[in-house]
Amino acid sequence: MPWIGFVFLMGHLSFNHLARMNANDSRTVDITGAQMVLVMKLSAFCWNVADGVLPEEGLTDFQKDRRLTELPDLLDFAGYVFFFPSMMVGPAFDFVEYRRWLDTSMFEVPSTVDPAKKPPTRRKRKIPRSGTPAMLKMATGLVWIVMFLKLSPSYSPSAVTSPSYYDNSFLRRVFVLYMIGFCARCKYYGVWTLTEGACILAGLGYKGVDPATGKVSWDRLQNINPWGVEFAQNTKGYLDNWNINTTKWLRNYVYLRVTPKGKKPGFRASLVTFSTSAFWHGFHPGYYLSFVLASFIQTAAKSELFLTPFPAPVTRILTRCTDFRRLLRPFFLDPKNQSPLPTKRYYDFFSWFATQLTFTFVAAPFLVLGLKDSLRVWSAVYFYAVVGTAASMAFFASPGKRALRKALEKRAAKANGTDVGGKKDRDASLSRSTSTESLSSTRNGGPVLGVSLDPQAELDEALNELKAEYESRMGLVHSEELVKATEEAGKKIR
């Protein structure tokens, strides 16, 4: 039943996406935004009900927490579906969270919290006072909305499709492209921050109280972290702070649900998650250009290039492409204690600058939408992100990677007093710090917005699955032929 519900919801949404594309009329009311939120809430509800009829010992902690052992009455269900503060643009949440808010069990203070640090409430209300954090969210959201209104006349997506755009210099084109992306983000920052504030005011944003400080957390339904996006220094940091609840939904109700019990999520799970994320957004070609390019950029930034289909000589050369951050970042850290050196500020600035410029390029088709216009915009800035990604891969496929490794080993040897090339200095020079580890594959966590964090590993696993399937089938064919030949030989002997 949850699969039937999921297919129906996605099919209905896809039908309306296509209808919106065909109409192409800005004067009509677009309902797909609100419907995208409903798809998340209703598909999650289906899975919560399905988990409620399964044995509890076979469920994960998340499933145990969100399962529904009995259906709610119609009024509670309607209240959940049409919860006003988040109905139009989200954030989405599970029915269990709504029910705990409704019966106020969400606000019960644990016994570990000092009564003196219990959050203040108004009169006999159980919901802690939420007016101040809600008003701060409202003020912040309005600032973002005002910025969008001020910038949008000059930096709308139409600015990069007009002929005058191509009369600008290269730097001016890149700047305009960045401002268009920033302006579009301001709109989302504004509406999501406002709805988050509305949920906080209602009390649903409550996430608990810190036993040590007594400080109340109101980020249960946080959907966006503008500062995390604007100052991200890598791909994962950028995507982890954007549309946070959609990422959680894709992980918990798509990525992990298509994985057979007892197995780790693999290529098929990532493929289904990618397809769901793409179809959920719509069918404009620009969406798919952005998704595919983001996966390749993640490959260049973190993981080894997938090279199995290439001839052996090419494979031996290109498999040396690996972990951009892991080989460069240690030069800006103390080799003894991994503390930042004074020069790390330059590395941080370059990482931020490269990340912002790259996602400026990646997000352009997401705003322009059309295939022809998207490719024209990319060509106007000379495909700089594609060229940069290819150049990075080429450099780490060259002897440059080996030179970097040797330089790191010399630094570690000098700091630790060991022989160059020894195991100790190699491990020290290439040890992963917490920051570096943030870029490592989090396949159990699922792709971020459908973009795989380790495309190489996913494709490698896909080939292994195909190889195993092929060998299994060939083994079956050979065994059938052997049985047939044995029977014929037996007949001849008889």
Looking at the predicted structure, is the pLDDT value of residue 302 above 70? no
Lowest mean pLDDT among 171-185, 235-249, 329-343: 329-343
Q: Which amino acid is at 142?
A: L
Fill in the DSSP letter of residue 7.
H
| CA 298 – CA 450 distance, rounded (Å) | 12
The values of phi and psi at residue 138, to 5°, are -65, -45
Quick check: 251 pLDDT over 50?
yes
For the cut 90, the answer to whether the pLDDT of residue 239 exceeds it is no
- The more confidently predicted of residues 326 and 249 is 249
Task: Label residue 405 by pLDDT band (50, 70, 90).
Answer: confident
323 Cβ neighbours under 8 A, 6+ residues apart: 302, 303, 304
45 falls in which pLDDT band (50, 70, 90)? very high
347 pLDDT above the threshold of 70: yes
pLDDT at 443: 45
What pLDDT, on the 0 to 100 scale, is given for residue 416? 73
Query: Is the pLDDT at 43 greater than 80, yes or no?
Result: yes
pLDDT higher than 80, residue 363: yes
Is the per-residue pLDDT at 413 higher than 90?
no
For 208, the enclosing helix (H) or strand (E) is strand 208-209
The conformational region for residue 282 under phi > 0 = left, psi -120 to 50 = alpha, else beta, is left
- The token pair that represents 250 in the structure block: 């894709």
Tokens linked to 83: 């919860």
Tokens linked to 356: 């912002």
User: pTM, whole model, 2 decimals?
Assistant: 0.80
Each residue of 103-125: pLDDT tens digit?
Answer: 999 998 877 777 777 888 887 78
**Do residues 20 and 30 lie in contact, with contact meaning Cβ atoms separated by under 8 Å?**
yes
End-to-end CA distance of the chain: 57
Q: Is the pLDDT of residue 298 over 80?
A: no
Reply yes or no on whether the pLDDT at 379 is more than 90. Answer: yes
What angle is formed at CA 68 by the lines to CA 67 and CA 72, rounded to 5 degrees?
A: 155
Closest among 278, 235, 178 to 389, alpha carbons compared: 235
Whether 475 has a pLDDT exceeding 70, the answer reads no
Q: What is the mean pLDDT of the chain?
A: 82
- Please check the confidence at residue 389 and state whether its pLDDT lies above 90: no
Give the residue carrying structure tokens 């973009």: 451
Among the residue ranges 281-290, 384-393, 470-479, the one predicted with the least confidence is 470-479
Residue 69 burial (CB count, 10 A): 10
> What's the confidence (pLDDT) of residue 468?
66
Q: Active-site residue numbers? A: 281
Residue 264 main-chain phi, psi, to 5 deg: -85, 145
Phi, psi of 432 (to 5 degrees): -95, 125
CA angle 146, 152, 154 (to 5 degrees): 125
Span 366-391, average pLDDT: 91
User: Sign of torsion, CA 124 127 129 131?
Assistant: negative
pLDDT of residue 424: 47
Residues 6+ apart with CB under 8 A from 89: 33, 34, 37, 191, 192, 195
State the sign of the Cα–Cα–Cα–Cα dihedral 348, 447, 31, 85: negative
**Cα–Cα distances in angstroms (integers) from residue 81 to residues 48, 74, 77, 109, 355, in the given order:** 14, 10, 6, 27, 37
Separation CA 321–CA 324 (nearest Å): 8
pLDDT digit string, tens, across residues 124-145: 788 899 999 999 999 999 999 9
Classify residue 378 by burial, with Cβ atoms within 10 Å: 0-12, 13-18, 19+.
buried
**DSSP, res 253:** I
Q: What is the pLDDT of residue 218?
A: 94
pLDDT the model gives residue 469: 61
Q: Where in 93-179 does DSSP place strands (E)?
A: none
- d(C-alpha 13, C-alpha 185), whole Å: 24
301 pLDDT more than 70: no
Position 107: which residue type?
A: F
Position 143 scores a pLDDT of: 97
Q: How far apart are CA 75 and CA 323, in angstroms?
A: 53
The pairing of strands 216-217 and 208-209 is: antiparallel
CA pair distance 450, 274, nearest whole angstrom? 4
Show me where the domains of the chain are located: 1-103, 269-465
Averaged over 237-258, what is the pLDDT? 91
Quote the CA–CA distance of 105 and 128 in Å, as a whole number. Answer: 13
**For position 482, what pLDDT does the model report?**
60
Q: How confident is the model at residue 77 (pLDDT cuts 50, 70, 90)?
A: very high
Which range is most confident: 189-198, 334-343, 420-429? 189-198
DSSP state letter for 445: T
Percent of the chain with pLDDT over 70: 79
The predicted pLDDT at position 34 comes to: 94
Q: So what's the pLDDT on residue 250?
A: 92
